[in-house]
C-alpha cells in the first residue's frame, strides 16, 4: 500500500510488539505513516519494497542487532534518517551507533513527545541537506577507492588488481575494506572493527581480525611483510593509509 502524499514514512524496528503498536498509533496521530518490523530481517524486506524517510531502531534485538542494521541502512540509503533506541546507560552502543551514522539516539524508557521531537528534527535536517544538495552543482560520485595496488568498487562489492583483473575476496573481507575506506588515516581498534565490519557477535579474544588483515595484505600490499596501506598501530589496532587519490 502506498503512503498518502506528503506524509513522511517512518519504520519502527523493535522486537516488543506493544511498543511497536504504541509508536505506530502515536506517530500516526501526528501525521506519519508508520511501518512496523519485529526484527532486522523484516525491516530489510520493508526497505526493499520502499525505503522510509526515517527508521527508529532498537539496538538490542534477537538475531541481527540494531547496530548492524543501521550500518546496512546507512550504506544502502545514505539519506535515510536513523534514530536509535538504547537501554539506559549503554554508552558504548550509543557511541558506536553514532559512529555508524545514526542521526540521534534515545535511551529507554523515553517520553513519546521527546522521541517525536527528535524524529521531526532529524527530518528537518535531512530536508535542509537535500535542498542544499539540489541547489549545488552536481559532482560525480566517487565509489571506488584505491588500496595500494588494488581498487575497491563499493557499488559492485569487488576488488580489482593492477591490471584490472578481479581479486577474489569474501563478503567479510569486503566489509573490512569498506570500513577502512570510510575512515582513512583513522586508527581503528579491534572493538570498533568487531562492531562495524561484522554482522555476528565476536569473541573478545577472537584473533580472526588479525588473520583477515594478513590475508588482505597479501592481496593489496606490494610487500605484505612491510605493509604500507593497512598499517599496524601499536597497542591500538590498524589504520588505512591511502597511497593515492580515490579513483572514479
Each residue's pLDDT tens digit, 25-63? 999 999 999 999 999 999 999 999 999 999 999 998 999
What pLDDT band is residue 134 in, cutting at 50, 70 and 90?
low
Q: Would you list the DSSP string of 13-72?
A: E-S-HHHHHHHHHHHHHTT-EEEEESSHHHHHHHHHH---SEEEEES--SSS-HHHHHHH
User: Average pLDDT for residues 178-189, to the nearest whole number?
Assistant: 88
Q: Which of 97-101, 221-225, 234-238 has the lowest mean pLDDT?
A: 97-101
Phi and psi, residue 45, nearest 5°: -65, -40
Q: 213: which DSSP letter?
A: H
Which tops the pLDDT comparison, 70 or 195?
70
Contact 78, 70 (CB under 8 A): no
Tens of pLDDT, residue by residue over 93-126, are: 556 656 667 788 888 889 999 999 999 988 987 7
Closest C-alpha to 154, from 228, 52, 246? 246
Tell me whether strands 188-189 and 144-147 are parallel, antiparallel or unpaired.
Answer: unpaired
User: Could you report how far apart the first and last alpha carbons of the chain are, in Å?
Assistant: 39
Amino acid at each position: 500500500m502506498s503512503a498518502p502524499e506528503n506524509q513522511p514514512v517512518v519504520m519502527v524496528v523493535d522486537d516488543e510488539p506493544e511498543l511497536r503498536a504504541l509508536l505506530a498509533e502515536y506517530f500516526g496521530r501526528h501525521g506519519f505513516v508508520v511501518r512496523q518490523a519485529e526484527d532486522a530481517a523484516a525491516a530489510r524486506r520493508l526497505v526493499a519494497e520502499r525505503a522510509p524517510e526515517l527508521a527508529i531502531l532498537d539496538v538490542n534485538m534477537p538475531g541481527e542487532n540494531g547496530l548492524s542494521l543501521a550500518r546496512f541502512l546507512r550504506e544502502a540509503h545514505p539519506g535515510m534518517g536513523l534514530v536509535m533506541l538504547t537501554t539506559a546507560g549503554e554508552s558504548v552502543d550509543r557511541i558506536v551507533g553514532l559512529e555508524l551514522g545514526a542521526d540521534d539516539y534515545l535511551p529507554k524508557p523515553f517520553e513519546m513527545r521527546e522521541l517525536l521531537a527528535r524524529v521531526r528534527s532529524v527530518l528537518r535536517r535531512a530536508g535542509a541537506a537535500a535542498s542544499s544538495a539540489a541547489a549545488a552543482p552536481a559532482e560525480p560520485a566517487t565509489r571506488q577507492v584505491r588500496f595500494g595496488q588494488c581498487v575497491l568498487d563499493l557499488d559492485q562489492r569487488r576488488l580489482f588488481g593492477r591490471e584490472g583483473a578481479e581479486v577474489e575476496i569474501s563478503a567479510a573481507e569486503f566489509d573490512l575494506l569498506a570500513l577502512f575506506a570510510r575512515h582513512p588515516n583513522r586508527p581503528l581498534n579491534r572493538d570498533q572493527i568487531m562492531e562495524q565490519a561484522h554482522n555476528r557477535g565476536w569473541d573478545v579474544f577472537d584473533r580472526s581480525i588479525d588473520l583477515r588483515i594478513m590475508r588482505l595484505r597479501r592481496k593489496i600490499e606490494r610487500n605484505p611483510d612491510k605493509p604500507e596501506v593497512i598499517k599496524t598501530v601499536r597497542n591500538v589496532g590498524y589504520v588505512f593509509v591511502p597511497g593515492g587519490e580515490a579513483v572514479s
